[in-house]
Each structure stands twice: as structure tokens, then as C-alpha cells.
Structure 1
Amino acid sequence: MAEHGQTERWRAEFRLLGAVEIRRDGHVVRPLAAQPACVLAVLLLGAGDVVSTDRLIDAVWGERAPDDARNAVQVYVSRLRRILAGADNVRVTTAGHHGYRMDVPAGDVDLYRFRSLAKQADGIAADDADAALALLEEAVALWRGVIFDGAAGDWLHRQLAPALVDEQRRAREQRARLLGTVARDPEAIAELSALLAEYPTRESVARELMAALHRDGRTAEALAVFSDLRTSLVDELGIEPGAEVRACHEAILADTTADETAGDTDPVAVPAQLPGDVPGFVGRAEQIQGVVDHLAEQADLAKVVLIAGAGGAGKSALAARLGHTVRGRYREGQLYAHLGGRQPAEPADVLAGFLGALGVPDSRIPVSTEQRAALFRSIVAERDVLVVLDDATSAEQVRPLLPGTARCAVLVTSRSRLATLDATYRVTVGGLTDAEAVELLTTTLGAERADAEPEALRRVITLCGNVPLALRVSAARMTNRPGWRIAELADRLSDEHARLDQLRLGDLDVRASFTLSYAQLAPGAARAFRLLALAEATWLTETATATMLDVAVPAADEVLDPLIDLHLLDLIDGSRLRIHDLLRQFGRELASSSDAADAADDARARLAAWYVHSAEAAIAAAVPGARSSRLLLPAPPHHETFTATAAAVRWLESERANIAAVVCDAASRGLVPPSDLVRVASSFGRYAGPRGHLASWRKLAEAALTTARRFRDHRSEARAMVTVGALEHREHELDDAATHLRAAARELADSGGPTAATAMNNLAHVYEALQQRSKVLEYVTRAHDIYVQVGDRRGQANTLTAMARQRSELGDHAEAESAYRQAIGLATDAGAVDVAAGAHAGLADVLSITGKYADAHRHYQTALRQIGGSHNRWLEGVVLAGLGRLYSADGRLAQAVDHFERAATAYRDGAFTFELAITMTDLGHALIDLGQGDRGAACLHEVAELTTTLAPPHRAHVQAHLDHERG
């Protein structure tokens, strides 16, 4: 008895080979209802692996699952745990939100005990028939009736049970053979007769029964068994008996010993149809090992491995390599069929080929697909056979070709994901890694040739998009032309309009491979592929895609799903869609020949409008407080909107390159009004400049200026020059910046609007860098006056900050402090958090200079909080460097070094070379003062290198700062 308060320990036994039961000391613990019984069975069949909740729901209810199915499964598992409380050999655990796992020793589950006994018997049968027979009798006795009796669910009874019952049949058949071996023919006859009654077309059972009856002197009955078998085969399958059972029949008729002739029959055909292994195969080691391990696992059904990927990804090569890797396990046959091409193979034709390869004469091959499939399954049921189905087009095409027993395995390759195929293991094949691609080309070209042009080799890999077929074509072309340099091929591939022409040699043709995938699309999906290929974006969200295709977001799935299924589109992170570069070029070729130019431009214009409006919404949330004008492009119905700064920043960080690429491409085709393009470039600059995203900003700014000039829109041209000038100032091209900004200021002077003020304010910043203080004050004052007139509080705060900085440099710290405080108030009122943060940092600088360290520290911390997750690397650097100077002045050198290092990281990330040089100077001297002279010297050496890249005024400023710190 257990002590009070303790659960008594006991050992649970589980029964599946009959009614599903939990037993204790041979007695049922508690009868189980149908649904919990099903859950228990599926968990036990998981053999210690996690069983997903979805799998449990599907097993219990199939397609008729109730809305609360998950809760119900949870209840059933809890009920099982209560029943098993105290069982020390069982553990039921929850795997997060995904499923459950039941750990039970295999010997405590009758199914696994049965398998163990049968396996042991098989291993010793040839040497010790009596011992093997004893093991099999124990194994067969474990079956107590209908398997999974009392458990709910079609999955157990229709999909799993037949294979397990087949295992029982094999054990019974083996037991009957051994009974004959040990001269217990009457028992063998009884067992074989029962088996044949259950399986009237089972030739091996009929043959053993005929032999046993003949040995027992019951020859007439033996001949009657053959007659009944022939009738069953002809009536049910439309075939004649096979060679072995015919030989046994003939031996009985000849009154010879059937046992002696049963093994002296025509040899069973052993097909070996695997295609040759691929010479120079590289990579895929992890995927190969995964498949090999899966095929080695114990299973109840035939293992079906699906290898899916885009055309040219190397699926067939991987299947061939896998086939040769594992063929030793499948010595009784390896079958191969190519199912694809322009005319997909019919399952009936493939089955006819398989049956012929397995030794079935044409006259015995049934007419219907169903009968051929049944015969195929019957023949391979007792054989270790590997089936390779290459380039399958649908699950419906594959299903009739699948064996039914666990001794067989199937490798299926497909361009489609074949989501409805019950694959037991799935592999998705993509491009090779860079290292694998180098290995492939080096293996083909030879190390000497490949090593001579490493840069050109990498260019070829990039231009081929790491696609194995494209790389093999490239290698083959180079092999054909031993006089070619690799750089010459790279140059030819760099012409994107001719790239696919270059990737063709003999029967190796990238375009043809893509065409086979494209040919499977319905017209709507084909049109979607062509239009999406026109997009300059690296990827598209589902809403952007729907906008480009001019369909509602829910309706887009209908045309996108086939593209994803055939790997013509890749789904990234579950929400973004991407076309591989080579597929993009293929799609554009199709679009140019299939779609009217107007339709293509309409799609480009819709996508550009989506990006323009989405970008404006994101920038307004990420950089609040700025004035904006009305866009001419109509807003698409599904463009992005933002209420939170953090979400807007995340979107901009992700999409900034796409914004520039899509909008500039559309603008080059005249699809974006110049004024809209200028506005986007200007807005984007406010976001990109402080964060170092200069390439995308430059692309937009230059496109805005070019477009305005092409349309002869002088006002837009002037506004574009403001943006270009701001960018040039950011990149230290001070003379060019001054030229553009002066021209813009002149053109916009009569408008007296905020853009004129922005031109003057930006020009003031340029003059500040050029150290022309009088002009700084002139232009910043003029800009400030305009901002006041138009009521632009963000602009006023900006100009007040610039004025305060000038006052501080002149030593007028009181005036500077006053201006900074005014700027903080205006920026706060306008919601311009970034401007307010900059003003707080400027005020902290002044307070630090005047010895008010505590107040300075407070304003720096306020600025840091306001920057938050805005990714404003410039402001982050300004504040951190200011704190570093504050700590340094206060003698807290370790903290100073930490903040200088963090500031340097921010400036480096944002490509702020001038500010980085100043901060590295401060860091170097702080390290030296801290006693870390080597590190300090390294920092100052970097400063010397940085100054060589700066404009002369900035270089002089850095040198002056160095001299001041040394002093």
C-alpha cells in the first residue's frame, strides 16, 4: 500500500492489437471512450516523438473536426494523465503549443512487442526453426481481434490499420511455413487455410498450402487450391497466377516433391532502373543525411520522400544521388519513371512499365489503372523496392504509383510542393551556397582555371543566382571553350536581356526548364507571374502584390498559390513574395511577348502608387511634425498605414531599397508625376539621412531631378535640387551642395513657402561646414522668418537649433540656451520628436560647457529616450558622444570610453565619417588617460585614415580638434 498522500506506483501495459486498452497486472484499468482511445493510440504510435495537436485532431475527427477540437484534445490528454497517475513507466509531456509526447518502453506496448518478436524470429529461422516458431506463436498471440477496436477516427482504421494487419499476415505466413519445416503439416494447413480465406489472391499463401496438402497426402485438395486461386486472380485482378505458384502446381501434377521444386522456379525479375549518379555532385549533405536517416526508421507504411524545388534547382540530381546512396537497402528492385515533360506521364502507362520490369508478361497486365496499381502493390508488398518518381506534376499522378508496405520507399521529385500528397518526409531544394557553387565550377573547370580568376568566378555564380542548372550550363560552356576566360562568360551573363540565351547548351537549357513550370499555370496565374516579374522590388508583400495585379487581397491567393506551389514565387517569412532573378528575367521575356505595353505600365504604376503612399505614411509616422503637400497619384485601396513609430520604422528599414527601385523605375517610364517623385525623395531624405541609407536616397533624389528636367517642371526641379543639395552635404560634397542649394533658393525665393525655407536652412548647414559663419546666420535667419510666416513649428525648431549652435560657438551661452529651450518647446508642440531630441542634446552641450553637469546629464538622457527605437544613428551618436564628453570632464573615464565607443558604432553604422573622426579622437585620448595607450593610439591612427576621405573644411576641423585634445 502507498503511504497516505502518495500515489501508488504501478506499471502500465498498452494494447493496440485489438481493443485499445490500458492494463495493470493483466486487467483493464478503465474502459476508454472512442475519442480518448484514438488519442492514446496515436500518441503510442508516435514512439516517443512529438505528435502535433493538428495530427491528433485529424486522427480523431478528420475533416469533421468541431470548433473546440483543440480544447477537446487537451481534455482527452488530461484524462489519460489521470488514468496513468502513478504509472512509473509512462511520461506524457506537452511540447509547447504544438503537441504532446508519450514516452513508454517499447516492451510495454503490444504492437512494438509483436514487431520485436517477429524480427527476432526472422533472424534465427534459418538456424533454429523451433525457436523461431515459438517466438512467432507468442507474437501472433498478441493479436486479440480487430486492431484499434473501439477507437475513433478514419486515419487509424483506413490508413494505418491495413499496413499493420499486413505485418500480422506476414508473421502468420512465416509461422505456417515453419510449422511445415518442423513436420507439423496439419497445423500448417489449418493456419494457411485460414489465411487464404482472408487473402484469396495471396499467391505465396496458396503455394505454401498446396505444398503442405500435397505432403500430407491430400493432393486433390492441393490442386483445388490452385484452381480456386486462379479463379480469384482472374475475377478480381484480371491476371493469371505467377511463376512460383504455377511451378508448384506443375510439380504436384508431375507427382514430384513440391518442396524441391518450389525454389527451382523462374527467377523473379529484379529491376535496376536508377539513372546514373551525377558526376561532380556537390552539396546537399544535410538533406541527404536527413533522408537517409528517415529511410532507416521503423515505419508502418511505405516511406514517401518528396523533393520539391524550382526548375533547375537540382531535384533530379539529388534524387539520383539518394537512390545510389540507399540502393543497398532495396536489393529486390529499383524502379524509375520520369513523370513530367510537356506531356505528363499517365499513371497507367507508368504502372505498365513497372509491372513489365517486375516480370509480369504483357498478357497479364490488367487494363484499368486501379487493377494495375493493385497488382503492383501485391508484387512489391514482400520485397524491398525503391521507387523513384521524377518530375511529378500532381499528387493525383503519384498516388497510384505508391507501394503499400513499409518494406518499400519512394523518392518523388516535383516542381510543385504537392501539398495534398501524404509524404512522410519533405525536402525543399534551393540554390547552392556560394562555397558549393565554387566547388561545382572548380570540379568541372579544374582548380588551376578556377583559381586563376576568383573574382570572375564569383561573378558567374552571382549572375547564375546559385542555380545548379545555370552553373552546370556555364561550366559546360567553359569546358567547350577552353580558350575563354571566366571573365568573358561573366561579361556575357551580365547582359540581363541575353542571360537566358547564354544559359543554354545542348539539352541543358535553363529557359526550357522554367517553361515546363510555367506551362502548368492557368491563364490567371500565368498573367500574375508575368506582371510580378516586372516589379523592380526584391520582394513584395501580399498587399503590394494584390495592388500590382489589381485584385482584392483575398482574391490574390487564387493566382498566387499556384506560383508558390511551383516555386515560381518564394514565400519569405510567411508574408513576403520573391521571384528569383533568373525567373524574373524569364517572366519579363514572357511579358514583352504576351502582354500589351499599356497593361504592363498600368501594373507598374499601381505598384509605384502603393509604394509612394505607403512610404509617405511611414515617414510621417517615423519622422513626425513635417508639413506635406497633396500627392497627385491616387491612393490605392490597400496601401500601408501606420499609427506607431516603431512599426513605421520597421517597415522603412525593410522596404527602403524597394521604395527607391520601384518608384524610380516607374518614374523613368513617365508613370510618376515629377512633383510626387520630388516629395517622396524629400520625405525619404528626412528619414534616410540620419540613418545612413544614402544609396536609396541618392537614387530617389537623382531620379527626381532628372524627371523634373525631362518634364520641364521648373518648380519641381528647384525642389529636387533642395533634396540633392541636402544629400551632397550629407556626403561632404560641399561645393556641389552649395551650387544646387543656391540655385534652388533663387528659384523658390518668390514663393516664400516652406521649401524655400528648407533650401535656405540646408544652405546654412553647408556654410556651417565651410566655416562661413556670416552666411550661416544670414540664411538660417531668412529660413526662420519664412517658417514663422507659414506656421511651420518643426522648421522653426530646426532653425532655432542652428542659431543656438552658432551662438554657443561664439561664446554666447545664455542666448544659445534660450534658443535651444524655444526649439524644444516648438518641436514638442509640433510632435517633431527627432528635432526635440536634437535640441535637448544641444542644450545639454551648452549646460556641460557652463559646468551644469547634472542638468546636462538630464537633457542627454531625455534625448536618448526620445530617440528610442527610431534608428536615428546620427542623433544617437550625438547624444552618446555628448555623454562621453560629460563623463570625461567629470573624471569618469571608463564610462566616457563606453559612451564614446557606442557613439562611434552609431556613426559608423550611419556612415557619418566626420562625426566618427571627432568621436574617435575623443575616444583615443580617453583611452590614453585611462592607461590603455595601445588602444588609444589605434583610435588616433584610424582618425588619420578617416580624415583623408573628408572635405577640406571638415579635415581642418578634425585636425583642430586633435590639436585641442593634445593641448
Structure 2
Amino acid sequence: MSAFASPPDPERAGSVDEIVQRLRLLKAWAGSPSFDTITARVNAAWSRSGREADLAGRTTVVDCFRPGRRRLNADLVVAVVEALHTDPGYVARWRQALRVVGGEIQAAAQVRVSAALPAALPAFTARESELERLRSAFGDGTRVCLITGMAGAGKSRLAVRAGHLLAAEHAFDRVLFVNLRGFHEDATQPPADPSAVLDGMLQSLGVPSLRVPYGMTARATALRERLTGLRVLLVLDNAADEQQLEPLLPDTPGSFALVTSRRRLPGIVGATRLAVDAFTPAEALRFLGAVRPRVPLGPDPSAPARIARSCGYLPLALALVSGQLRAAPGWTLTDHADRLDERRQERRLDDAVELTLRVSYDHLGGCRRLLRLLALHPGQDFDGYAAAALAGADPATVRAELNDLCRDHLVQPAGEGRYAFHDLVRAFAANRATDEDAPSARRAALTRLFDYYLATAAAAANALSPAEAHSRPRIAAPESALPDVGDRDAARAWLDAERHTLVAVAAYTAVQGWPGHTTALSTTLFRYLNGGHHSDALTLHDHARHAAADIADPLAQGHALTNLGATYTRLGRYETAVELLRQALELFARAGDPGGRARAANNLAIVTARLGRYDEAVALYQQAILACREAGDRTGEGRAEGNLGNLEARMGQYESAISRHERAVINFRETGDANGEAHGLDDLAEAEMPLGRLDSAAVHLRRALELFRGHGDRHGEAWTLDNVGTLHARLGRLDLAEDHHRQALAIHRDTGEREGEASALNGLGAAAYLAGDPAAAVTHHAAAQSVAGSIGDRYQLARACAGLAHAHEALGAVLTAREHYRQAMNLYAAFSSPEAEQLRIRLAAVDQRRTHAGTVGIVERLR
């Protein structure tokens, strides 16, 4: 029996040595089985899962327990843990700990979920029986079809082709495609985190980023709920294992998943299974005949068979040969067969795919350099401008070369104007780059690429929010051509298309020698990412924080911390936000940077106000205003003034709030910040309404709505609609009030703005109460209470409790009403809000009526 009461906790490990130490403790906990026993258990488990080629040796297993190592084979360590403790939950904790220690967690979280299938290659032939089986499986009601086979067997190509056929034959509501990177040749591209894949799927299915729940289990549940009633085709390419795949699979009628993997994945129960091997000789010959029917045979009638045999009958190798046939117009099939034989006799290459890749590469001519440089790209896909930046050439020339590479099957189309690699081709090209391009040439190509992304991101950010251009870093014009992102629509479209790539670039530049690009991307993309792309924001800003620390740049570190704090605020993780923003404020104060100090103080004030610490928030806003004046930042000063005015209005200081908002509006108009002006007018109207200045409020709200709609700012539009609803309620136009609150609620739910959702629900509750429908008021305020409670917003929670108290009192539920009055009074009192005194009076009246009713009842009983 083990001397240890419980197995060690892997999640407390912070380094490879600490992982090894806990692995040794786990071995002791399990009764100290011999290394031979552990090795046998690991190999037995791997054999059952179809990994006969991966069996471990005893020495390799022993190495996992040896301290002083710089890295670990995470896959093997997980298998060893499973051999010592079979509980799936415990094994999952080890898997997570290994990914964190190995630095993979952020890379694994970067995954692109596409709302369309990749283009089906026109040269697809053979596999007719496999295609028919896949179509039949869907017709029989199967929800998962698993296509397995070795690398290069054509699994992905078959799945994409089948997906196109099914989509053409059946009315799917949505089609989603994702490369899970289960067996990517590049170590910097680890298997995709299933939680991140679920996030991408949910957003592709219309769930706003802020409404995607935390945690894999919650996201898997949300996906099942979202798929209910929909017919969705999922193509999940290159799955690693059951743990990665299972949370992604549909279990609702009408949805269908096509999955590819190099492993058999026996744990996926109920799936239709299709093992894909190399072509038969007849299929290989048919493939070659279809793709190059006009190439002369030459003197050897067995040339096609020799080509197929040299390719190992693998579809990928045969596809590469088809590209070679196009690239050598004067050659016969006999010439090609002879060339392959020569390569094999020279013993340069043994693997069929490697052999055909080398021959294809030799035929490329001027495209070779482009292929090598493209393999250096850290993202999953790229467009023509990025390729041109790598090559240092004009986009038109590079696009022509990309078309040639596509025809040669060395690069694959990946959507409109985008391209990607098969992972084996990328690995080959990257090796060629290492062998043939000097380190300085590779670094220069990557510098051009990173300069291109940073400059285009800056241009797009300035088009989206020009008034804040002064607060972003000034980016020098790069050598490369840039796409036109000068208008808001084009800027947003480019950023949306390149978001995942920009995060990948930030991750790469942070650790590979371009830290300045990382920190500049963080500051440049803050406003765009803050609009709902919070998972990407956390990843990018965290890379920037560490990059800035590595180069001892306190200002860059302060901005990265501020960006992180603002993102955590939007996510409702207030205590984490406070800690990060305090660190940023201290860094800026030590560095003597008033602009940074103003940013950090303003964001810290926002989160402390949401936590109900109004006195602290007021002091921070005042600090931010003074720092903005010191820095000469009038736009920032206007925002801090407006935020402080909102806080003063909540505390009943309406005249002071109105003065601040009027100053802010003047600031915004003089600096040309139309978006800031709209926010200022909306805030001004909100402060005017409690004083009865309804005509002035109506004018200001009308103008704010015009400005927000003109700039396509749905976030601001929703808040203004909510205030318009409040105005109509004060004017007794309750139908119009309800209509505007509902419009605001719909937009807030669409954009994922939880605080706004609670506010609109409270507005609906107030309108229903005034309309004489307290039951409906209870429904709306209860929903607002739930949302506000989940994010910790104490002001909206106070509004909800007060509304519930009024509604329950009207319904005669006096005890329930009394409890809500008490909660609301205490919440408002913490803000020094005048509502606290009004609620105290109302609560006393309720208690007096209860006492009177009780006395009357006693008298009646005595009679």
C-alpha cells in the first residue's frame, strides 16, 4: 500500500524539474512499479489505440523521471501518468500542467475555425467507393464519420471532397472547417486546444465573444445547445486523440462530423469508421491518367506504373508528381519515371513523399525561394501581400508564383485570396530554407513580414478609431506593399481576416528576437481586440508583457499590463484586473510617464467603481484627469471627465456631472473625436433626466444616436437606445420605452455586453412596473439580477433589487419585497447614492404597514 494518502498535484508545478519531481512522487504513490512494468503498460495502451509505430523503450521511459532535463515528451509523460493512475480527470490535470510548463497553452489556443470548406481540388479522382460510403453514412443518420490512415494517404482531401458533395446535396444551415493540428510537423504548432476550438465554433455559429462561457465543459454544453435545431456539417481535420476530439462532436439530429486522424481513436464510440490506405496500383494509374492525360508516354509503356510505385501509391506524392508533369512540358512519362528512379538509386531519399517533394522542388525554378520563405511564416495561412513581404517582391509577381505553387500542389488554396501548406510540405520547405538560405536572409524576410503586419494593423486601427491615433505607436512605412485599409469597412475586414495570424506573429516575435513588434502590436490592436475578441486579447497582451519584461522596457510593460487589465475588466474578472492595473500604474509612476499613468488610473477607476469602491474610483479619475492635462492628451481627458461624471451622477451629484459632461463634449468636438462626442452627449442626457431636463436630454440623445449610427458603433448605439427608453418612460410613453429597451437589449446580447444587458433588462422592468404589470417587472428585474450578479456589477444589481422590491410589493408579496428593499438600500448606501435614503423611507413604510396589519389581526381574533 502507498505511503502517500493522495497522488501529487501536477498543477502546482512551475518548471520541467517540478514536473519530474511530481512524476517521481506519483510513481512512489502507485507502489513504485518497475520501469519495465510502466513501459509495458504504456505500450499496451498505445497498441490498443493504434499506435504500434510509436511504442516506447524502457530507456525513454526512464528519461521521463530524470531531473535536470530541459524539455519532456509530453505525450509520453501523459501515458506514464495513465499507467500509474487511470483516473481520466487526474490524467487531464497532468496534460494541462505539461502544456502550461511547456509554454504550449497559448500556441494551442490559436486556431482558426472557418465558416467554409477549403476549395475542393479539381484533380480529385479515385476513392469513389469511400465517397459513397461517407454519403451513405450520413443518409443512415450517423453523426460522426472517422477517416483514418497514414500521413499522405489523402484523408484531408477525401474529407473536403466529401464535405463539398454533402453540402451540395443537403441543406446544411452552416458548414465549419478546422485543422486541429494533431500531427503538425512544426513544434511551434501544437495540437489545438479543444476549448479554443469550441470558442471559435460558437462564435462562427453566431455567439458573441463575451457570451462564450469559460471552461471546456461549459463550452461543449453551449455548442450542443447551439446545434439544437440546426443542420451543421463539421469537418474536423487532423485530430490528435479522443481527449481533443470528443468535446467537439455533435450529438444532435441533423448535424454531421467528418473527422480525419492518423490514429484509429477507438474511444470514439458509435462512429462510422473508414480506414484510408495508399491507392491500389489501379487507382494510382487512374489518378495519373486523369491529371495529365496529354503527357506522352515515351518509350517505356510501364512508366506510369513505375511512377506510381516510386510514389508508394500515396495520394499526396502522386498529386505532387502531377504538378511536376505540368512543370516540364517537354518531358514524357518515361522521363519522369527515370528521374524518380535516379533519385532513389542515389539514395538521397527513401520516403515516397520526400522523394516526390524533392523532384517537385527541383522543377520549380524561380519559385523555389518563395516556397522556402513561405514555410517560415508563423501563421496557419497567409495572403498574397504577406507572401510578397516575405519575398521582398511586388504582390502581382508573387501571386503569379503562388498560382504556380498551387497548380503544383505545393501550396493549397485556403479561402478567397488565402493559402496554406500541407504540414509535410511545410516541413520539407522549412528544411530547405535552413539548408539554402543564410540566417541573415531568413531573418530579413521575417522582419519584412513582421513590419508588413504591424504597419497594416496600424493603418487599419487608425481607420477604425482615428481620434486615438496619437495614443498608438508611430509605425514607419515598410518596404512592402500594403492593402488598402483606409476606410472602416476595409479595415475591419482585414483585421477580422488576419486576427489569428496577428496573434501568432505576436507569439513568435516575443520569443524569437522581435520583442518590439510584439509590444507595438499589443498597443496598436488594443481598441480593436477590446471590441469582443477577448481570448485573443489576453494571449497577445500577455506575450507583450513578457516581451517588454525581457527587454526591460517599463513603458511597454505598463501598457501591456493596462491592456490586460482592461480586458479582464470586460470579462468580469475584476480582482485580477485591479492587480494588473495597479502594477501598470506603479510602472508608469516610476518612469515619469503621465500619459501611461492616465491610462492605467482611468482603467483602474472603472473596475474599482464596478466593485462598488466609489471613493477610490473618484480619486483615480481625478488623478487620470490631471495626468492627461500634464501629457496634453485632451481626448483622454475628455474620457476621464466623462467617466467621473457618470460616477457623480450615480451618487446624485447631477449638476457637477452635467458640468463635466459638457466640458468633455467640448473637448471631443475640438479634437475631432466624433465617437467621444457621442458618448459625452449620451452621458450628458443621462445626467439631465433626473433633474427633469427632458427636452435638452432628448436633443442630446438624438444627436448621440446619429453619431453612433454614422460610425457603425453598435455598442454606443445600444447604450443610447437604453437611455432613450428611460426618457420615454419618464414622459409616460411606455410602449416606446419598452421598444427602445428591447432594441438595446438585442444589440447588447449580440455584442456580448453583459453590463448593458443588465441595464436594458432593468429598463424593461421599470417600464413594465409603470405600465401596471408588476409580474412582467419581476421577470425582467430577476433576469437583470442574474446577469449583474454573475459579473459582479453592484450598481445594476442595486437597480435590479430595487425594481424587484417595488414589483413584489405591488403583487402583495410584502416579505419578499422587504428583503429586496433591504438589499437595494445597502447596495446604494455603499455608493453614497440618494436612492439609499428613498429606499430606507420605503422600507420603513412597509414595516409600518406590516405592524399595523398584525395589530388589526390580533384585535379581530380577540373579538
TM-score band by shorter chain is 0.5 to 0.7
Q: Give the distance between the partners of 1:643 and 1:593, measured in 2 at CA.
A: 38
Report the equivalent of 1:456.
246
Instruction: Give me the whole-angstrom Cα distance separating, in 1, the residues matched to 2:487 and 2:427.
Output: 38
CA shift digits 1:675-701 (9 cap, x unpaired): x43343233222332x22212221221
In the alignment, the residues of structure 2 paired with residue 776 and residue 948 of structure 1 have an alpha-carbon distance, to the nearest angstrom, of: 20
Q: How far off its partner does 1:797 sit?
A: 0.7
Shift of 1:842: 0.1
How much does 1:738 deviate?
Answer: 1.6
Compared CA separation, residues 895 and 526, structure 1 to 2 (3 A): farther
Letter in 2 for 1:456: E
- Alpha carbons 1:927, 1:936 under 8 Å: kept: yes
Q: State the alpha-carbon separation in 2 of the partners of residues 905 and 733 from structure 1.
A: 24
Is 1:725 the equivalent of 2:565? Answer: yes
Equivalent of 1:883 in 685, 704, 724: 724
Whether the 8 Å contact between 1:531 and 1:549 is mirrored in structure 2 is yes
SS at match of 2:466: coil
Matched, 1:613 2:455: yes
Q: Secondary structure at the match of 2:129?
A: coil
Q: 1:834–1:559: structure 2 CA closer, same or farther, 3 Å change rule?
A: same
Residue of structure 2 in register with 1:860 after alignment: 701
Q: 1:846 aligns with which of 659, 683, 687?
A: 687
Give the corresponding residue for 1:696: 536
**8 Å contact kept, 1:918–1:961:** no
Q: How does 1:474-553 map to 2 (within 5 A)?
A: 474=262, 478=264, 484-486=266-268, 509=314, 512=317, 515-516=320-321, 517=323, 520=360, 522-537=364-379, 539-553=381-395
Q: Deviations over 1:139-190 (max 9, x none)?
A: xxxxxxxxxxxxxxxxxxxxxxxxxxxxxxxxxxxxxxxxxxxxxxxxxxxx
Q: What's the counterpart of residue 776 of structure 1?
A: 617
**Aligned runs of 1:115-264 on 2, under 5 Å?**
none
Instruction: Give the conservation status (yes or no) of the 8 Å contact 1:754–1:792.
Output: yes
Counterpart AA for 1:591 = A
Change (3 A) 1:458 1:573: closer
Change (3 A) 1:682 1:453: closer
Distance 1:858 1:536, change over 3 A: farther
Question: Which residue of 2 is the match for residue 406 of structure 1?
Answer: none
| 2:845 matched residue in structure 1 | none
Q: 1:668 and 2:519 equivalent?
A: no
Which string of whole-angstrom CA distances, capped at 9 and with x for unpartnered residues, describes residues 811-845 of structure 1?
Answer: 23222222111111111222222211110110111
- 1:667–1:707 contact (8 Å) kept in structure 2: yes
Q: CA deviation at 1:538?
A: 5.3
Q: Is the 8 A contact 1:860 1:883 kept in 2?
A: yes
Whole-angstrom CA distance in 2 between matches of 1:316 and 1:887: 54
Is 1:606–1:636's contact at 8 Å kept on the other side of the alignment? yes
SS at match of 1:535: coil
Contact kept in structure 2, 1:873 and 1:909, CA below 8 Å: no
Pairing 1:785-804 to 2, within 5 Å after superposition = 785-804=626-645
- Could you list the runs of 5+ residues in structure 2 that have no partner in the other structure? 1-124, 137-153, 166-230, 276-310, 324-356, 810-863
Q: 1:869 to 1:909 in 2, by over 3 A?
A: farther
Say which SS state the counterpart of residue 486 (structure 1) adopts.
Answer: coil
Tell me, in whole angstroms, the C-alpha distance in 2 between the residues paired with 1:965 and 1:610.
59
Partner Cα separation in structure 1 for residue 244 and residue 624 of structure 2:
54
After superposition, what is the alpha-carbon deviation per residue over 1:231-266, rounded to whole angstroms, capped at 9, x for unaligned? xxxxxxxxxxxxxxxxxxxxxxxxxxxxxxxxxxxx
Note if contact 2:160-2:235 (Cα within 8 Å) is conserved in structure 1. Answer: no
Are residue 757 (structure 1) and residue 590 (structure 2) matched?
Answer: no
Is 1:604 the counterpart of 2:446? The answer is: yes
Answer yes or no: is 1:709 the counterpart of 2:549. yes
Which deviates the most, 808-817 or 842-851? 808-817
Q: Is contact 1:604-1:666 (8 Å) kept?
A: no
Q: Could you say if the C-alpha distance between residues 563 and 823 of structure 1 is closer, same or farther in structure 2, counting changes exceeding 3 Å?
A: same
Q: Which residue does the alignment assign to 2:157? A: 313
**Partners of 1:958 and 1:545 in 2: how far apart?**
54
**Matched residue SS, 1:578:** strand
Q: Could you tell me which residue of structure 1 aligns to residue 430 of structure 2?
A: 591
Q: CA deviation at 1:783?
A: 1.5
Partner of 2:607: 766
Contact 1:278 1:317 survives alignment (8 Å): no
- What is the identity, as a one-letter code, of the residue corresponding to 2:580? H
Distance (Å, rounded) in 2 between the aligned partners of 1:275 and 1:795: 64
Whether 1:835 and 2:679 are equivalent positions in the alignment is: no
**Partner of 1:84 in structure 2?**
none
Residue aligned with 1:922, SS: helix
Matched, 1:655 2:498: yes
Contact 2:379 2:501 in 1 (8 A): yes
Structure 1 spans left out of the alignment, 5+ residues: 1-273, 286-309, 322-432, 442-449, 494-505
SS in 2 for 1:278: helix
Indicate the SS of the match to 2:480. Answer: coil
Letter in 1 for 2:528: Y
Within the alignment, does 1:821 sit opposite 2:603 as a pair?
Answer: no
Any idea what SS the aligned residue of 2:132 has?
Answer: coil
Residue 276 of structure 1, CA deviation: 9.0
The answer for the alignment partner of 2:292 in structure 1 is none
CA distance in 2, matches of 1:573, 1:861: 42
Offset of 1:768 from its aligned partner?
A: 1.4
**Distance apart, 1:766 and its partner CA:** 1.9
Indicate the structure whose relative CO is greater, using CA pairs within 8 Å and at least 6 residues apart. Answer: 2
- Partners of 1:927 and 1:536 in 2: CA distance: 55
C-alpha distance in 2 between matches for 1:938 and 1:515: 63
Structure 2 CA distance for partners of 1:776 and 1:279, relative to 1, 3 Å: closer
Matching of residue 644 in structure 1 with residue 495 in structure 2? no
**2:220 is matched with which residue?**
none
Instruction: Tell me the SS of whatever aligns to 1:749.
Output: helix
Shift in CA distance, 944/960, structure 1 to aligned 2, threshold 3 Å = closer
CA distance in 2: counterparts of 1:887 and 1:620, whole angstroms: 37
Deviation at 1:658?
3.0
Shift of 1:965: 6.1
Per the normalisation by structure 2, the TM-score is 0.53
- One-letter amino acid of the structure 2 residue matched with residue 587 of structure 1: R
CA distance in 2, matches of 1:754, 1:510: 59
Q: 1:891 is paired with a residue of what secondary structure?
A: coil
Amino acid aligned to 1:546: A
* Cα separation, partners in 2 of 1:866 and 1:539, compared to 1, 3 Å: farther
The AA in structure 2 aligned to 1:525 is: C
2-side partners of 1:813 and 1:771: how far apart?
19
Distance 1:513 1:700 in 2: 40
TM (norm. structure 1) is 0.47
In the alignment, is the contact (CA less than 8 A) between 1:896 and 1:926 conserved in 2? yes
| Matched residue, 1:355 | none
The one-letter amino acid paired with 2:129 is V
Deviation at 1:537, TM superposition (A): 4.2
Question: Residues of 1 paired with 2:411 and 2:489: CA distance?
Answer: 29
1:898 is matched with 739
Compute the displacement of 1:524 (Å).
3.6
1:775–1:928 Cα change, 3 Å: closer
Other-structure match for 2:300: none
Shift of 1:515: 4.6
CA RMSD, Structure 1 to Structure 2 (Å): 4.3
Please say which structure displays the higher CA radius of gyration.
1
Contact 2:506 2:543 in 1 (8 A): no
Alpha carbons of structure 1 residues 284 and 276: separation in structure 2 relative to 1, 3 Å: closer
Q: Is the 1:924–1:938 Cα contact (8 Å) retained in structure 2?
A: yes
Take 2:603 and 2:430, find their aligned partners in 1: how far apart are those partners? 44
**After the TM superposition, which residues 406-421 of structure 1 pair with which residues of structure 2 at under 5 Å, given as runs?**
none
